[in-house]
């Protein structure tokens, strides 16, 4: 049976949902309690000190230290509890588990596409396995969109020229709505997709069936082709040796020093930026001689290079 509490929230279908709901209910309950304390107190004083023919003399007391400490300390403790609790849940939501299945989410006017690790692109339907962490790597082809799955309590902006991350682990089989929650033009309200949660074996079967009609190439193979075709191999080795530029082997998700003394973690954003704006962040010990590949590589080709660099990791 549905309780009143269930009624306030959309269906709960991910590991993070109960945590988000719990802190939301806590904040709601505290707000409700203080609403009543303040309103009852206000009504009481309005009646007690209303305009009368014969007024009582006002008290000469101008403050009450004990009372003031109490009404400062209690809200402070409540706010600290909200902050610490909320921050911990926020961290859980921000950091995807290491064994996550990675799916690329692309928003554009006015639809969503979902790209699987084997290169299969699913338009309008995100199919994921049950009880498996899924990390979505989100971007946009035009304006700012935002991916929102109420049942999973996740929401993340989709930005052009940048990747953002959201992760979830579905705990219920079924179909759930996915919305765009950033006003992105005339058909914004029609920018809908569905999330379908299947048991793992059925997910694999779905991916297999869907991919057999796949037209896109495997991103790693594409990246490898570009590595030779666009002459990346004249400056970057794949065996770890240093050439004119740094090697691509074992650099993925490592921290690297830059020529300006700062450091950078090699991720999707850094690789993409280095392909398009090579002079922005130059690795320490190298000269900034790389040309920009802006306009020379298509979006899926940049993604191919990223996938290829990811694959050059000694396991």
Positions that interact with Cu ion (CB under 5 A): 145, 180, 184, 191
Nearest approach in angstroms of CB 161 to Cu ion is 16
Going by C-alpha positions, the residue among 132, 163, 161, 129 that lies closest to residue 147 is 163
Nearer to Cu ion, 191 or 198 (CB): 191
Q: Partners of 177 in the beta sheet?
A: 194
**Cα 247-252-256 angle, rounded to 5 deg:** 70
Nearer to Cu ion, 178 or 290 (CB): 178
Q: Which string of b and e fits 97-131 if b means at least 16 CB within 10 Å?
A: eeebbbbbbbbbbbbbbbbbeebbbbeebbbbbbe
Nearest approach in angstroms of CB 135 to Cu ion is 21
Q: Distance between CA atoms of 165 and 296, rounded to whole angstroms?
A: 26
Residue 25, C-beta contacts closer than 8 angstroms, at least 6 positions apart: 5
Nearest approach in angstroms of CB 144 to Cu ion is 8
Nearer to Cu ion, 145 or 236 (CB): 145
Nearest approach in angstroms of CB 157 to Cu ion is 10
Nearer to Cu ion, 191 or 232 (CB): 191
Nearest approach in angstroms of CB 110 to Cu ion is 6
Nearer to Cu ion, 176 or 203 (CB): 176
What residue ranges in the chain does DSSP mark as E strands? 101-108, 111-115, 121-123, 125-129, 133-140, 145-149, 154-158, 164-169, 174-180, 192-198, 255-257, 263-265
């Amino acid at each position: 049976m549905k309780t009143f509490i269930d009624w306030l929230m959309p269906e709960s279908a991910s590991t993070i949902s109960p945590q988000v709901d719990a802190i939301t209910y806590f904040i709601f309950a505290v707000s409700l309690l203080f609403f009543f304390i303040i309103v009852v107190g206000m009504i009481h004083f309005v009646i007690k000190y209303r305009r009368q023919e014969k007024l009582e003399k006002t008290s000469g007391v101008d403050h009450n230290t004990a009372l003031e400490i109490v009404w400062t300390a209690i809200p402070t403790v409540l706010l600290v509890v909200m902050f610490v609790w909320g921050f911990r849940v926020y961290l859980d939501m921000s950091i995807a588990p290491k064994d996550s299945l990675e799916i690329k989410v692309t928003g554009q006017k006015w639809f969503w596409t979902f790209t699987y690790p084997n290169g299969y692109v699913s338009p309008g339907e995100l199919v994921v396995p049950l009880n498996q962490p899924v990390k979505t790597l989100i971007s946009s082809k035009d304006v700012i969109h935002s991916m929102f799955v109420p049942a999973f309590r996740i929401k993340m902006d989709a930005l052009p020229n940048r990747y953002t991350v959201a992760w979830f682990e579905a705990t219920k089989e079924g179909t759930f709505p996915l919305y765009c929650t950033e006003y992105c033009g005339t058909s914004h309200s029609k920018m809908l997709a569905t999330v379908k949660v299947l048991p793992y074996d059925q997910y694999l079967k779905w991916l297999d069936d869907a991919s057999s009609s796949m037209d896109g190439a495997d991103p790693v193979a594409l990246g490898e082709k570009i590595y030779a075709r666009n002459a990346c191999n004249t400056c970057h080795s794949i065996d770890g040796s240093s050439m004119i530029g740094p090697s691509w082997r074992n650099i993925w998700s490592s921290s690297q020093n830059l020529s300006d003394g700062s450091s950078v973690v090699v991720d999707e954003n850094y690789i993409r930026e280095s392909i398009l704006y090579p002079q922005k962040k130059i690795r320490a010990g190298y000269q900034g001689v790389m040309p920009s590949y802006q306009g020379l590589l298509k979006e899926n080709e940049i993604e191919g290079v990223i996938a290829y660099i990811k694959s050059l990791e000694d396991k």
